[in-house]
Amino acid sequence: MQPLQTTSLRVANNRLFILDQQALPQEKHWLPASTVEELVGHIHALRVRGAPLIGLSASLLLALLAEQGAARSRLAQALETLRAARPTAVNLMNNLERMKQALAQENWVAALANEALRLVEEDKRLCDDIAQAGAALVKPGSRLLTHCNTGGLATAGTGTALGVIALAHQQGKVATVWVDETRPLLQGGRLTAWELGELGVPYQLITDSMAASIMAKGQVDAVWVGADRIAANGDVANKIGTYSLAVLAKFHGVPFYVAAPQTTLDPGCPNGEAIPIEQRAGAEVTGVAGSFGCVQWAPEDARVYNPAFDVTPASLISGWVLDSGVVTPPEVAAGVFAKSIL
């Protein structure tokens, strides 16, 4: 396969490497993802993360394994193992479905490589289109609030919600961005703050529990988030804490926008209740671990409930900003997502 480089993915010498997002922002180094077991481990540990990026990394690995001589039966098994690596984010399933179709072709080695590269280039275009559609909704002087990380670290392109914010900033319309730290694992504090700093976008980092107070003071003009899955009725699964923001935004009359590519739609999922929610290790809440060692702040025997995602009902969403344009609540109520064909 030809060399490839995005913010978080690299293909060099026919091997896949991922930028270790657990080490950011203090350290920036690349890790090999040469086997299914390695990549699944990276996904579980959130060293590679972001719904679009997870799907792309799995697709690229399958194509590279094919070029390295893996048998078709082994690739089919690898595909199913990768599909199960992250249950909530549907981009992974959608991308792998296209790779499965490529695997069924007569010249399947070339077909897999072509499809994987097509998915990467497609994601870049989707991000650009989302940014264009979303930036048009941002008013001059806006103070925006975002949650988790939805930038180039999570996609092959400029990002989804963060791509919108970046373009709006380039257009001179962003006064500041409130960045939720985002529990668990502080992906807003570690990753979004770092990306905005690299882009030169002014921001302030807040804890998740501070959003209500700044909305009450009239200091938030719109909320922009991404999505890991959009159900047929418009319900959205996203990083835990998104639902809370949507409720707060509704109460305070603040527009709440979801930015996502077509690969995040799941027409076969009727509503948010049908979306599987990943449960993560309790240690992510009871303490912290890193190059500095381990710190435990909760009792050793504390029981922990640690879902990675929650579901925001469609009734709380002001607009779904896709690569195809802005979808309104009346359009969603009319079943536009249920009719979508990827």
Question: Which residues make Cβ contacts (< 8 Å) with residue 50, sequence separation at least 6?
Answer: 8, 149, 150, 153, 154, 155
3-state secondary structure of 11: strand
Q: Is 228 a catalytic residue?
A: yes
Residue 81 burial class via C-beta count within 10 angstroms: exposed 0-12, middle 13-18, buried 19 and up: middle
The active-site residue out of 228, 235, 266, 323 is: 228
Amino acid letter at 332?
Answer: V
Q: Please give the torsion angle defined by the CA atoms of residues 312, 318, 321 and 322, in that order, rounded to the nearest 10 degrees.
A: 60
Which residues are CB-neighbours of 241 under 8 A, at least 6 positions away? 147, 148, 180, 182, 183, 208, 310
Q: What angle do CA 72, 76, 79 make, to 5 degrees?
A: 135
Would you say 159 and 167 are in contact if contact means Cβ atoms under 8 Å apart?
Answer: no
d(CA 237, CA 240): 9
Burial string for 265-300 (b: 16+ CB within 10 Å, else e) reads bbbebeebeebeebebeeebbbebeeeeeeeeeeee
- In terms of Cβ atoms closer than 10 Å to its own Cβ (0-12, 13-18, 19+), residue 153 is buried
> Could you tell me the two tokens for 210?
């501070």
Q: DSSP secondary-structure letter at 316?
A: G
Q: CA dist 293 to 170, 275, 287, 290, 296, Å?
A: 40, 35, 11, 5, 10
Q: Report the distance separating Cα 44 and Cα 18, nearest Å.
A: 14
- Residue 19, helix vs strand vs coil: strand
Known catalytic residues? Answer: 228
